[in-house]
Structure 1
Amino acid sequence: MTVYESDLPGVGKKHEVELGDGARLVIVTHNSGKREVFRRADADSDSEKLFELSDQLARQVGTLLEGAYFQPVQTDRIETLLGEDTLLEWVEVGPDSPVAGKTLAESDLRQATGASVIAIERENEDVIVSPGGDAVVEAGDTLVVIGQTDACRDVLSTVRGD
């Protein structure tokens, strides 16, 4: 397998991986951490964008592909176990979520569940770290939550509207 690496000034780095059939997988890593993945039928053809990942999601997927550990990942949730009963969990806010359009204080997630929202990742790659009660939760946001396992499950249920 041959891998080509090149700098993209002002953008980041590009890696091209030769696939067995002559095609190439192109991965652009932006300075922000965002990854874009493209496929080229051959070295001279145009690239077709397959998907893009946030830095955090790319790292999770990379760890899974590397085989470092096995952790089932659902499309609406990524979680990391810290200690015996403490989770760090990423919860996506859907368009019909009862917390969409509300501030964290209005959503009452911490008081109702005991878990804390420690960051909000926006679709445009902005991350609000240590959001205050006045931070507005938007559809499409990903809430980074920490708490006991049951508390994190309660946040997931609340955000889904279960």
Structure 2
Amino acid sequence: MTVYESDLPGVGKKHEVELGDGSRLVIVTHNTGKREVYRRPDRDSDSEKLFEMSDQLARQVGTLLEGAYFQPVQTQAIETRLGDNTTLEWVHVDEDSPLAGTTLAESDLRRETGASVIAVERDDEVFASPGGDTRIEAGDTLVVIGQKDACKQVAAYVEGE
């Protein structure tokens, strides 16, 4: 992320943040503490004012954006119940998982747990109905279906328990 700072004599400071799509977020901090926030679609366009806020409100919002009140946590497993005892579960594979680097066939998950891997999510890709030769990599999420206990066993097996 690139941030550009410039003085605005008699007004305050201006910060411009590149957003990655060619546009910029422009924040003008007045000497009084008031903030004005603009969006500039590209370097040749005029900025569009989005909103303004007081110093106190800007500091409160900044604290929220900073994560002082809530830190998102990625869960290791997500479960969806399909019937009385059948679940669909998403199980994350960490880098220290004994399954990282093995194929589905080598992992022997179905025989060991009774549950089936119906998809592998990797970054922005989804490998539906993966075959035994599909390699499990650290960072993958396995989409598993089976009896509730079997899916719990998959999660434990992936964690090396």
Short-chain TM bin: 0.5 to 0.7
- Could you tell me which runs of 5 or more consecutive residues in structure 1 were left unpaired when the two chains were aligned: 1-38, 51-72
Q: Which residue of structure 2 lines up, in the alignment, with residue 44 of structure 1?
A: 38
Q: Which residue of structure 2 lines up, in the alignment, with residue 100 of structure 1?
A: 100
Q: Which residue of structure 2 lines up, in the alignment, with residue 77 of structure 1?
A: 77
Deviation at 1:81, TM superposition (A): 0.3
Deviation at 1:136, TM superposition (A): 0.2
User: Which residue identity does 1:109 align to in structure 2?
Assistant: L
What's the RMSD between the two structures over aligned residues?
2.6
Deviation at 1:75, TM superposition (A): 1.0
Q: Which residue of structure 2 lines up, in the alignment, with residue 143 of structure 1?
A: 142
| In 1: Cα distance, 2:156 partner to 2:139 partner | 16
Q: Give the 3 Å change call, closer, same or farther, for CA 43–139 of structure 1 in structure 2.
A: same
Deviation at 1:77, TM superposition (A): 1.0
Q: Which residue of structure 2 lines up, in the alignment, with residue 155 of structure 1?
A: 154
Q: Give the 3 Å change call, closer, same or farther, for CA 101–147 of structure 1 in structure 2.
A: same
Structure whose CA Rg is larger: 2
Deviation at 1:40, TM superposition (A): 8.6
| In 2: Cα distance, 1:74 partner to 1:94 partner | 12
| In 2: Cα distance, 1:144 partner to 1:110 partner | 13
- Could you tell me which runs of 5 or more consecutive residues in structure 2 were left unpaired when the two chains were aligned: 1-24, 28-35, 41-64, 66-72
| In 2: Cα distance, 1:115 partner to 1:143 partner | 11
Q: Which residue of structure 2 lines up, in the alignment, with residue 110 of structure 1?
A: 110
SS at match of 2:130: coil
| In 2: Cα distance, 1:145 partner to 1:40 partner | 45
Deviation at 1:158, TM superposition (A): 0.3
Q: Give the 3 Å change call, closer, same or farther, for CA 90–45 of structure 1 in structure 2.
A: same
SS at match of 2:91: strand
Q: TM-score, normalised by structure 1?
A: 0.56
Q: Give the 3 Å change call, closer, same or farther, for CA 120–44 of structure 1 in structure 2.
A: same
| In 1: Cα distance, 2:26 partner to 2:153 partner | 43
Q: Give the 3 Å change call, closer, same or farther, for CA 85–116 of structure 1 in structure 2.
A: same
| In 2: Cα distance, 1:113 partner to 1:40 partner | 54
User: Which residue identity does 1:99 align to in structure 2?
Assistant: L
User: Which residue identity does 1:107 align to in structure 2?
Assistant: S
Q: Which residue of structure 1 lines up, in the alignment, with residue 127 of structure 2?
A: 128
| In 1: Cα distance, 2:140 partner to 2:84 partner | 28
| In 2: Cα distance, 1:86 partner to 1:126 partner | 25
| In 2: Cα distance, 1:85 partner to 1:96 partner | 30
SS at match of 1:147: strand
Identical residues among aligned pairs (%): 61
Length, aligned pairs only? 99
